[in-house]
Amino acid sequence: MKLHWSPRSPFVRKVMVAAHELGLADRITTIRTVVAMTKPARELLQENPLGKIPTLVLEDGTILYDSQVIIEYLESLTERKLIPPAGPARWQELRRHALANGFLDMLILWRNERERTPASQALLDAFRLKTDAVLPALEAEIGDIAAGPVGLAQITIAIAGAYMDFRFPDLGWRSRCPKLDAWQRGFEARPSMQATAIVDA
Ligand SMILES: N[C@@H](CCC(=O)N[C@@H](CS)C(=O)NCC(=O)O)C(=O)O
């Protein structure tokens, strides 16, 4: 299978970390695809009309996006699960994933906005206010989250943490969230994270 990929994309990294955790990384061929919200990649639009990466192309031509759908597909190829199949644990995992994933979406919008001239101060303020709500929420929950197996939520939280280090060092999230910081350090030592480090290339 082929994955539209970039070394800087946190959502691509999320998929690749999941693929490593599931033991499937060597079945994925990466295709370097350059995307930007202001410059849609025209060739990619034919496979994913949203023009976003990650986009996965299967051997039979089936196309899958977005990152959660791709991860659920990868999961279907293995016994190992990243999302509990049923019950309260499933809803908890999906809700925690939605928190981290929505946060990541917002960080990307924030980065775009702060590079725009003139930026909307109302949007910048709203992004900061939401970040000031999300970080304590993650800090409060990380103990319970860490007590469970590695899954979709843990992977996405770690990707959001690494993305903040990469694009928002000024947020100082690690000193604001000591429990999250300690957990992140442990998670970053996993081979799946080591094999997928973000490269600014
Ligand atoms: N919800 C999507 C988000 C993917 C996304 O935002 N990807 C960014 C790169 S990290 C992208 O392709 N941006 C180009 C664009 O929005 O036009 C997912 O989970 O896969």
Work out which ligand 1 atom sits closest to the CA atom of 36. 14
What is the predicted pLDDT for the residue at 16?
A: 98
Nearest to 108 by CA among 3, 30, 8: 8
d(CA 119, CA 197): 30
pLDDT value at residue 170: 96
Look at strands 63-64 and 29-32 and give their pairing. unpaired
Whether pLDDT at 43 is above 90: yes
In the chain, the amino acid numbered 199 is V
The pLDDT mean for the chain works out to 97
Ligand 1 atom nearest residue 66's Cα: 20
pLDDT, one tens digit per residue, over 155-180 is 999 999 999 999 999 999 999 999 99
Residue 151 beta carbon below 6 angstroms from any ligand 1 atom: no
* 52 in contact with ligand 1, CB cutoff 6 A: yes
Contact of 44 with 51, CB cutoff 8 Å: yes
Task: Please check whether residue 55 is in contact with residue 65, taking contact to mean a CB–CB distance below 8 angstroms.
Answer: yes
**Top-ranked range on mean pLDDT: pick from 30-44, 58-72, 186-200:** 58-72
Residue 198 pLDDT? 85
Q: Is the pLDDT of residue 200 over 80?
A: no
Ligand 1 atom closest to Cα of residue 51: 17
Closest CA to 180 of 96, 107, 121, 118: 96
Using a pLDDT cut of 70, give the percent of the chain over it.
Answer: 100
Compute the distance from residue 35 Cα to the ligand 1 centre, in Å.
Answer: 8
pLDDT at 199: 78
Report, as an integer, the average pLDDT of 42-54. Answer: 96
Q: What is the mean pLDDT of residues 37-42?
A: 90
Nearest-CA residue for atom 19 of ligand 1: 67
Predicted confidence (pLDDT) per residue in 118-134, tens digit: 999 999 999 999 999 99
